[in-house]
Amino acid sequence: MQIKEDKQGEILIVTVSEHLDTSTSSIFESRLLGMVDRGERKIVVDCGTLEYVNSAGLKVFLLAAKRLEPLGGKLVLCALAPSVLMIFEMIGFTRIMKIVSTLDEAIRVLKGDASPA
Amino acid sequence: MHEGSITIRLPADPKEIERLNRIVRQFGDLHEVPGRTLYAVNLALDELVTNVILHGYEDRTDQEVKAHLTVQEGVITAEVEDGGRAFNPLDAPTPDLNAALDERELGGLGIHLVRSLMDRVEYRREGEKNVLTVRKRIR
C-alpha cells in the first residue's frame, strides 16, 4: 500500500494504492484520521489505483466519514475499480458515503458547485 | 478451468494474511478460475482467516490456521480449520445496512461480506477444531 497527499486549496486529495488489507489498514487509519484531527475537513480519497480492500480497510473509510460528519466535514471517494465498488455496495457504504466516478467530480462536489444530476 | 486443490498452513499471525492472499491468487490463476470468482473467494478467505487469527486464540504463539482450497465440478470450495476456542462467526448479527452514517456499527463487516460473496457458508465444530466451509459456483 502507498498513501499520497496533495492539497488543492481547501481540498485534500489522498491517493491510496494497491492493497488495503489487515496488515496495511492500521497505517491508513492513523494517516487518514490524523488528517481529520489536524483540521482537514474536505477530503477526497482517490481509489483509482486501489486494487483490493477487505473489511479492515472498509472500516477505515467508515471511521473517517463518521468522524468528519459532526465536524461539518465531508469525505468523497472517487474512481473505484468495479470490483472495489462492488464491495462498497455489498456493505451498504454507497448509501452513507459520497462515491463518484472521477477525481474532477469529487473536487466539484467538495467545492459545492456540483451541477444537479 | 482446471480441477485441483491446495492446503495452506499459516502461523496465526496477521502478517501472514498477505502471503495467504498471494497463494490464493496464484492457485486461482493456475486453475484458470475467472477473475470475479477468484476475487470473491480471495476476499472471503482473507476475512475468515483474519477473524481466526485476531479473535480465535487466547494466545496465538505457536498456533496455526489451515486453509484448504478445491476446484471441482465447477465449484470452488474453501475450508478454514483452526484449533481455537469454539466460535461460530455466523452467529454474529448482520450489520444494519440501512442505518444512517452516525449509527452504522463498525463490527460485522467481514462476515457480512463472506455471506454476500459466497453461495454457501457452513460452520461445524469437529472435536477440538472449528471448521468453516464456503462454496461458490464458478462463473
ipTM: 0.91
d(C-alpha A56, C-alpha B136), whole Å: 23
Is A87 in CB contact (< 8 Å) with chain B? Answer: yes
- Quick one: pLDDT at residue B59? 87
- Quick one: pLDDT at residue B52? 93
Residues 6 or more apart whose CB falls under 8 angstroms from that of B53 comprise: B12, B13, B14, B16, B17, B60, B65
Which residue in the set B14, B97, B99 is minimally distant from A22, CB to CB?
B14
State which amino acid sits at residue A103: L
Residues 6 or more apart whose CB falls under 8 angstroms from that of B91 comprise: none
Which residues on chain A are in Cβ contact (under 8 Å) with B14? 22-23
- A112 band by pLDDT with thresholds 50, 70 and 90: confident
DSSP per-residue string spanning A46-98: E-TTEEEE-HHHHHHHHHHHHHHGGGT-EEEEE---HHHHHHHHHTTHHHHSE
Q: What pTM was estimated for this model as a whole?
A: 0.93
H or E element, residue B85 = none
H or E element, residue B43 = helix B35-55
In whole angstroms, how far apart are CA A30 and each of A36, A37, A88? 10, 10, 21
Q: Does the pLDDT value for residue A117 go beyond 50?
A: no
Q: Does the pLDDT value for residue B74 go beyond 70?
A: yes
Task: Give contacts of A 54-83 with B, CB under 8 A.
Answer: 54-56, 58-59, 62-63, 65-66, 69-70, 83
What's the mean pLDDT in B66-74? 97
**Buried residues in A24-36 as b, exposed as e (16+ CB within 10 A):** bbeebbeebeebb
**Homologous superfamily of the A2-111 domain (CATH):** STAS domain (3.30.750.24)
How large a percentage of chain A has pLDDT more than 90? Answer: 93
Q: Does the pLDDT value for residue B50 go beyond 80?
A: yes
On average, the pLDDT of chain B sits at 94
Q: List, for residues A4-56, the tens digit of each pLDDT value.
A: 999 999 999 999 999 999 889 999 999 999 999 999 999 999 999 999 999 99
Domain boundaries of chain A, sorted by first residue: 2-111
The three cell numbers of residue A81 are 475499480
Q: Does the pLDDT value for residue A59 go beyond 80?
A: yes
How large a percentage of chain B has pLDDT more than 90? Answer: 84
d(C-alpha A11, C-alpha A6), whole Å: 8
Q: How far is B134 from chain A (nearest CA, A)?
A: 17
The three cell numbers of residue B119 are 453461495
- Quick one: pLDDT at residue A113? 55
Q: Does the pLDDT value for residue A105 go beyond 60?
A: yes
Q: Does the pLDDT value for residue A115 go beyond 60?
A: no
